[in-house]
Each structure stands twice: as structure tokens, then as C-alpha cells.
Structure 1
Amino acid sequence: MRKLTINMCVLACLAAAGCTSVPVDLRDTVVLHYQHVANVHRIDFSSPVMLPHRHLPVESVAPLASQGFWAVFLLCGVDVTGAGVPSFYFDVDRFRVRAGRQRFGPLRPYTLRLDDSADLNSRFDTRVIADAVAMEIQEGPSSQVFRHGYYPRLDYRFAIYVPHALPDYAGDELTLRYEGGRTMVLGNGYPPSDIPVAGLGAMGIASHCLP
């Protein structure tokens, strides 16, 4: 019954988009369900972060471009029930935000301001900063193997950095994609909250998917 429901939903979505020629056979496809819960514009660290080439610890980070933000998502569920899918390897770094022809993924150097200074994240410390941001925002594992089956109510939270303004973006749900394997990524349609500052374990950011 669940598989029939998913196929009917996919058919409806494709028909609405005028894509009736796209195949909807999900036997070899993993379906990932998500909710876009927040857009965050600055992150204050619970504990100062020491960087390898900076004398002072970093207490906060903000986008270099004033309209950049972290898009925060919840992975609500994973459907690995397709007859041709024995298992699925999940890696949070394979998620991408898609906006038109642009795609955004892992943090890149020289896109963040450190504290209120003119210093930017460099190629030497970007991984450290990305890990510190994950410590504040992320809930759930960074990677996991899902065996054949259906996994609801996961509520794995993670953030993807969007370094600049998106044309015509009005604060609605962003499109999420997963790189690697045959996957279909479906949002539940709820708009995200707009949060000026996050920190202290991501207080104020939703941690459970809405039905």
C-alpha cells in the first residue's frame, strides 16, 4: 500500500510539472523525505573554536555576502523498500540545495566572516569551521547504512550553506537533492522559519518533522 501511495504521489507531481514522459518505476530508487525547517543568518558557537592559523578563537560566523544563510533541513524518513535496492549508504555531505542551475553543498573557503572581523575562512580551516557548525546544528549521524526496509521518523537535522542571495527567493521550501545512486528526494512543503542567530545547540530550530 505504501509503494502504491508513493507512486500515485509521484505521478501527480510529474503530471503537474508537465513531465509525464519521466519514468516513475521506483524498484531501483531510494526515496528520501525531508522538511526545510529554518534559514539561519549567523551562528554563535557554544564554545570558542580554535583555528590552526589564527591566534584568536572564533566565537561566531556569518555569511560574507549579507544575504547568505544556512538552510537547515530534517531528513524525515528513508524508503529503501524498492525490490531492486538491497541497501542505501547515507552520507549527509552528498545533499545539495538546488536553486535553478545553482547547487550548494559543503562549505567552501573564503565565504564566511569570522566574528565581526575582516578575516575569512581559509582552505586551512574550512573543515574545522564546518565541523563546528555541525556540532551546533546537526542531529543524527553523518553517515549510515540503511538496509532494505522503511525508516520513518528519523528527524536527522543538518545544514547546507547558501553563500549568497537566491534570485526571486521568497522564503519558501528549497529543493534538496542527493548525489550518488538512484534517489528521489521529496519535501513535505512546509516553509522554513527565518532565524537571525542560532547557537547553543540550535535552540529554536525545529527538531521533528511535521506530518
Structure 2
Amino acid sequence: MRKLIRYAPALACLLAAGCTSVDRGLRHTVVLHYQHVANVHRIDFSSPLVLARRSSPVDAVLPLESQGFWAVFLLCSVDASGAYVPSFYFDVDRFHVRYGKQDFGPLRPWTLRLDNTTDLNTRADTPAIAQAIAMEIQEGPSSQVFRHGFYGGLDYRFAIYIPRGLPDYSGDELTLRYDGGQTMVLGNGYPPSDIPLAGLGGTGIASSCLP
């Protein structure tokens, strides 16, 4: 019970708007605040993607199953101000979505349809496709070292691919986790927009976190 009482002020501070430092109870922990801004169901490339194995370039990618989507997030702030936190290494590929017992992270082979066909991404062309998707969605660096301190107003945008529908998912904020180091990842609670198409000719995606 003492431990719960000790950590309660820290969690209350972290969940409140304007909190910019880590409580003593979290002095070993890096706190990442995020917003889940959109669920995107198709990505059209601004420039057709040429793959060595295909005779024609790829203009768009779609989920493996019709209910799949890209969950798009903004990293709002990084709080590395804990007394025992010298720095924090940010790598966008270390984020993953946790839904029940399922985890979703970087794009995997054989999980994505090319140009609304039955042709799927192979192991060889997955890195190029992932990079092309990032060009359409991502804002901010893929990796960065944050020295000790608090970093607000980042608005680093990235997407995590969900290849199929999630059971009983009603469009609420998805839970984001980070692999590596001692971290706490907190969403701001806003539900995402549902966007049929991103990229060439698609609807714009939010690029700044709400308070």
C-alpha cells in the first residue's frame, strides 16, 4: 500500500496537462507521451515505387485483410529528467502496439498487398516498402539521442501497421509500448480519426499533439 501511495502523485502529475518533470518515484524512468491521431486504411505513394522483382512499379499498398490499418501516432514529448537518467535513445522501430495478447511493430514480410492485388511484400522488398511508407507518413527523425532533460513539442509522427482487424476494437486510442530501457508510455486519451487514404491525394493527418 505504501508503494501505491508513493507513486500516485507521480502518475497524477504525468497525466495532468503541463507536467514537465519526473517525480522522484520515477527517477530511473523515461516518460514518453503520445497521441494516437489516425487509423489509415490505404497508402498511395507520391512517386511509384520500383521493385526489382516486379515488372511494374507499386502505386499503393493495402492491408492484408480489409479491416487492417496503419495506426498513426505522434510522439508529443520525452521526459528524460529523472535523476538517474543520463540520456535516452529514441528509435521509431522500437515502438509497438499492444492489443490484448497481440503485439504489432515494424512491417513484416508477406503481410501487405501491393496495388490491390494478391501480390504480397516479400522479405527482399519489405525494407524498400517500409521506407516508402515512412516517406508518406513519418515526420521527424527515425532515431535520436535525448540527453538528460525534458523535451516537449516534438510531434514526431510515425505509423505502425496492423494487418488485420482487431477483435472488439471500436476505434479508441491504442496502447503504445517501447522496447528498450526503463520507459513509461502514456497516451493523452484522444481517439484517432479514421482516414480511408493517405499519401497522394489522401486526407491530411494531424501533425501536432493536442494539449
TM-score for the superposition, normalised by structure 2: 0.89
Q: RMSD across aligned C-alpha pairs, in angstroms?
A: 2.1
TM-score for the superposition, normalised by structure 1: 0.89
- Within a 5 Å distance, the mapping from 1:101-120 to structure 2 comes to 101-120=101-120
Aligned residue number for residue 16 of structure 1: none
Segments of 4+ moved more than 3 angstroms:
10-13, 200-203
Aligned residue number for residue 200 of structure 2: 200
Structure 1 residue 50: Cα displacement: 0.7
Unaligned 5+ segments in structure 1 are 14-23
Q: 1:6 to 1:67 in 2, by over 3 A?
A: farther
Between the aligned residues of both structures, percent identity stands at 73
Q: Residue by residue, what CA displacement relative to the aligned partner does 1:42-88 show, whole Å, maximum 9, x if unpaired? A: 00000000112111100000011111100000000000000000000
**Partners of 1:33 and 1:187 within 8 A in 2:** yes
Aligned residue number for residue 176 of structure 2: 176
- Secondary structure of 2:140's match? coil
Structure 1 residue 115: Cα displacement: 0.3
**Partners of 1:29 and 1:82 within 8 A in 2:** yes
Kindly indicate whether residue 146 of structure 2 is the aligned counterpart of residue 146 of structure 1: yes
Q: Which amino acid aligns with 1:161?
A: Y
Q: Which amino acid aligns with 1:133?
A: I
Larger CA deviation: 89-98 vs 201-210:
201-210
Q: 1:177 to 1:126 in 2, by over 3 A?
A: same
Q: Which amino acid aligns with 1:139?
A: E
Structure 2 Cα separation of the partners of residues 172 and 5 of structure 1 = 25
Q: Which amino acid aligns with 1:146?
A: F
Kindly indicate whether residue 162 of structure 2 is the aligned counterpart of residue 159 of structure 1: no
| Count of matched residue pairs | 198
Aligned residue number for residue 47 of structure 2: 47
Unaligned 5+ segments in structure 2 are 1-6, 17-23
- Within a 5 Å distance, the mapping from 1:13-32 to structure 2 comes to 25-32=25-32
Structure 1 Cα separation of the partners of residues 199 and 12 of structure 2 = 37
